[in-house]
Amino acid sequence: MTGKVRIAQLSCGPEYSGVQKEIEDAAGSVDAEIFFPDISLKEIKKSFAEFGLDVRSPDLKLAIARAKALVEGRIEADAVFIATCFRCAEAAIVRNELRHYIASNSKLPVVSYSFTERTTSGTLLTRMEALTTIARRRALLARERQEGLTMGIDSGSATTKAVVMRENEIIGTGWLPTTGVIDSAEKVIELALAQAGVNRGDIQAVGTTGYGRFLVGDHVGADLIQEELTVNSKGAVFLADTQHGPATVIDIGGMDNKAISVMDGIPGTFTMGGICAGASGRFLEMTSKRLGVDITELGPLAMKGMARQVPMNSYCIVFGTQSLVNALAAGSSPEDVAAAACHSVAEQVFEQQLQEVDIKEPVLMVGGTSLIQGLVHAMGELLQTEIVVPPYSQYIGAVGSALLSSGFLKER
């Protein structure tokens, strides 16, 4: 696809919340344009009645009618952005139903967002970038095999990872906590290259992802700089060998969480949340610190404990830590506290995010937190399914980047 990606906006309230410009700026920064599907008054009444959700707000009626026009092909778009006010119950119902309706009746990538007057274009950027990538780079995302000698770098908020791949095999990895963005990237690159036994000059293509993707991408002259929603989906289905058919990818990160519903390796609907650190890997890091164990020991410890023995609700990291301290002071065992912390994080992700994507098996857990056995176990119990943790799951973004960057293969 050349030219701008056209994103249809279905919304209620952004103009009056003062955030319409932020939405347009976010789209503009990834070379996309927002447009409002034009439909007649007659169509609005008809489509709204046919859809059957009898809402009172006329702007929501208009959003429903616009969604129908998109699904029925009367109006063309490359992607859909649904946005309504945070805390509006009626809008929350509509947002949810429209997302399901569009995802199950069309191939349009769709993302929804509930905004406040504080929403900025920066908050929306990763979502917009993922939407446009799915629309613009379907051919690239369809890549199933890594070719040549490529490297992927994932500059995350908590850790930086690098992977070197040759002809569909991982031959070198590097992993370090993120301190300085470029410094950490340089160090993990050296680790991965050393393990792979190759020189930097031999690498034929490089891809970067994660929060520091632009900075690191510029620094190393990356061929592909890509947000983590599409890259992680691709890495997950590649490593789990589930490139065809449906899958659900869950990534509980250091700063935010992603839940992605994938079909044939391409994301359909996704959510990205984690305003509160209580539902993130950060809380588990704090728990292990308080228990005096290394984060790698937290998972096995949690497997020995009973989550229900300790009341813990980490909706907020401060309150979560308070429960943790109280439980230890009351004599709870470190095993039970570790299990409760894992359960609490899993429960929040389940309640806050997984309801917004259609969970289809296999469910893949990826990212560093997928190595915490107790967390995977808790999530499996909540979803009543066996969770798949693919090999190299902590390197998922780097693997996805190395795989996709081989689409830009060149002899250096």
Partner 1 sequence: MAKIFIYPGTSLILSDLVARFGHTPLGAAMAIRERVQTAGFESPPLQITPEEPKKGLKYAAVEVPSGVRGRMALYGPMIDDADAAIIVNEADLSFGCMGCARTNELLVFLVKKRGIPVLELMYPRTDEEGIAFVKRIRDFLENLGRKE
> Which residues of the chain form contacts with partner 1 (CB under 8 A)?
52-56, 86-87, 89-90, 92-93, 95-97, 114, 351-352, 355-356
Q: In angstroms, what is the minimal distance from the CB of 52 to partner 1?
A: 4
Phi, psi of 8 (to 5 degrees): -80, 130
Smallest separation (angstroms) from partner 1 to the CB of 112: 9
Which of helix, strand or coil describes residue 222?
Answer: coil
- Least Cβ distance, residue 359 to partner 1 (angstroms): 11
Length of the chain: 412
Rounded to 10°, the helix 20-29/121-136 angle is 50
Q: Is the Cβ of residue 48 or residue 395 nearer to partner 1 in the bound state?
A: 48
What whole-number distance in Å separates Cα of residue 117 and Cα of residue 232?
30
Amino acid at 303: M
Nearer to partner 1, 229 or 354 (CB): 354
With respect to partner 1, which residue has the nearer C-beta, 96 or 385?
96
- Please tell me the distance from the alpha carbon of residue 20 to that of residue 14, in angstroms, as a whole number: 5
Nearest distance, CB of residue 348 and partner 1, angstroms: 10
* Residue closer to partner 1, measured from CB, 101 or 238: 101
Q: Residue 104 or residue 296: which is nearer to partner 1 going by CB? A: 104
Q: How far is the CB of 355 from partner 1 (least distance, A)?
A: 5
What is the nearest approach in angstroms of partner 1 to the Cβ of residue 44? Answer: 17
Shortest distance, position 55 Cβ to partner 1, whole Å? 6
163 beta partners = 152, 173
Closest CA to 268 of 357, 354, 351, 141: 357
**Burial profile 340-350: b = 16 or more Cβ within 10 angstroms, e = fewer:** bbbbbbbbbbb
Cα separation, 408 vs 236, in Å, equals 20
Q: Where are the beta strands (DSSP E) in 195-239?
A: 205-209, 224-225
Helix (H) or strand (E) holding 366: strand 363-366
- Compare residues 53 and 306 and give the one whose CB is closer to partner 1: 53
Residue 51 beta carbon to partner 1: minimum distance, rounded to whole angstroms: 8
Phi, psi angles (nearest 5°) of residue 396 = -55, -45
Encoded amino acid at 278, one letter = G
Residue closer to partner 1 (CB basis): 195 or 385: 385
42/56 with CB nearer partner 1: 56
Closest CA to 203 of 184, 232, 224, 183: 224
152 DSSP β-pair partners: 163, 207
